[in-house]
Amino acid sequence: MIWPRSWRPPPLDGSRRSSLTLNSSDLSRQRYASADPGAAAVRPGVLVEVAGCGVWISGESGVGKSELALALLERGHRLVADDAIEFQRSDHAALLARPPGALRDLLEVRGLGVINVRELFGGQALLPVATVHLAVRLLRPAAGQWQDWERLQPQRDQLRLLGVMVPRVTLPVAAGRPLPLLLETLVRLERAAASLLHGRRRQGGEL
């Protein structure tokens, strides 16, 4: 049962006697009625928070996603989910990510097995839920393709999940490339670009 803002719902004891369920929400009636809290999706990958930015790391099996997450933990960043990620669209059209219950706190690294992040790094190294700001695809170029890789600009596109568009950057993987540093720098670049765009829009609105 949905009550308009101008109406007062019955007392709580009255709802108990009549077996009515009362729910409270700050949403308008239209947004509450159209919201679908059950809309969710599960995708493979790793979700980390880097400098306050939720980053979804994807790539083929064995490309180094979990190893990158482990290196980022060592550098003070936080893990949200490994192997499988549960996504949900928020009421404000943001993409939220969290770990499935059975995989919470766990990170699987080849050669090391399953690591309990809470035991090794402490609870401060974990984040139960994060907003996804950026997707990064790790790609190992085939032999002879490095000379064709774009050197001056990142390879960018966008992916769509649950109706939310997320910017995605493809990072080439090779022995000796400092992926943790590259990912941290990429996050800084994305934040700087977003800040610049916000400033330009604000200036345009003031003119």
Q: Digits of tens for pLDDT over the chain (207 positions)? A: 555 545 555 665 555 555 555 555 444 444 443 445 447 899 999 999 999 999 999 999 999 999 999 999 999 999 999 999 999 999 888 999 999 999 999 999 999 999 999 999 999 999 999 999 999 999 988 776 666 666 657 788 999 999 999 999 999 998 889 999 999 999 999 888 876 655 566 666 555
The two three-digit tokens of residue 21, written as one number: 């369920």
Domain with CATH 3.40.50.300 in the chain: 40-206
Question: Which residue spans within 68-186 are E strands per DSSP?
Answer: 78-89, 95-98, 106-109, 113-116, 130-139, 155-161, 164-172
Residue pair 82/106 in contact by the 8 Å Cβ criterion: yes
The two three-digit tokens of residue 158, written as one number: 């966008």
Q: Helix-strand-coil percent breakdown of the chain, rounded to 5?
A: 30, 35, 35
Query: Could you tell me the pTM of the whole model?
Result: 0.75
CA-angle at 135, arms to 170 and 61, nearest 5°: 70
Say whether 36 sits in a helix, a strand or coil: coil
**pLDDT for res 144:** 66
Say whether 6 sits in a helix, a strand or coil: coil
**pLDDT for res 92:** 84
- Domain 40-206 bears CATH identifier 3.90.700.10: no
**pLDDT for res 142:** 78
**pLDDT for res 7:** 54
